[in-house]
Structure 1
Amino acid sequence: MEATTTNPIHSQKSDQDQCTWKRRIRLGKIPDQREPKRGRVCSLEKAMRSYVHRKSGQVVAPEIAREFDSLAEAFKFYNLYSWEIGFGIRYGQSRTNAHKSRTVQDIVCGCSGRPKKENTKSVACNCQALFRLHRTNDNGWYIHDFR
């Protein structure tokens, strides 16, 4: 019986053949919130102050082009609004740019979507409630669409 020897160069080549894909280089990421600025009032405080002048019964009322400092602030704002109206929310679809940073975020009703099968006990009822946020130039967020 002959002893078999392994060639280290051959084994390295086979390792390289196994991994044929290249890892993409990530260039950067947009910060999740904008820089704090002295004197800037948050959106919830603006809504509370403007409630006195409004005739509607809602304290928190979303308006197109309202700005937020972070995505978490926008979620809390819409959560207060949804609680006042009477429905739950969750994060929906999002879109990213070439740098893999989120530029568009949908916040939707907890019942949005369709059930995968008919006659199931799914809570999905195809609710159209939507709060679409887009990124501002200074890394904040603003309401682009509201249903």
Structure 2
Amino acid sequence: VRAPLAAALLASLATFVQLLIVIGVVDTEVLQRLWPPVAAGSVVLVGIATFVYRGASQPGENTPSAGGDTGTAPASRPFALRPALILAAVLTLALLVGRWGADVLGANGTVLAAFAAGLADAHAGSVAAASLAANGAISVDTALLAVAAALGSNLIVKT
């Protein structure tokens, strides 16, 4: 169980890397304030994954025989249109809801919308908040709080 758990933890590292890249494209001011805590979180995540993996079984234990079925599913296409369209729809919806939340409820509405979007995808609420900060609809501080809300709700779902 430890090796797959360590791999899942490292897969979560991709969320941090993608987040920094996307935020950097949208708003560099948010990126400048966001990268130190994300880098620190990445270091902690790698440390925990290393600690978990070190307790994993040694190679050769419980491995399938050379001629046996490994139980792996056949590989699918690396790029599929449907997931890309779903992600685009989630990002668009998060941006619209975030803007609506900012108009109706102010900064708290944006944070709430980012939290809700984070339940589906951590990037959606984060990108929406950074876009609103880039347009001047919300402050950078509010955008950072919204990014934290999106990441936090996504962590809840992953847990």
TM-score, normalization: structure 2? 0.28
TM-score, normalization: structure 1? 0.30
Larger Rg: 1
Higher helix share: 2
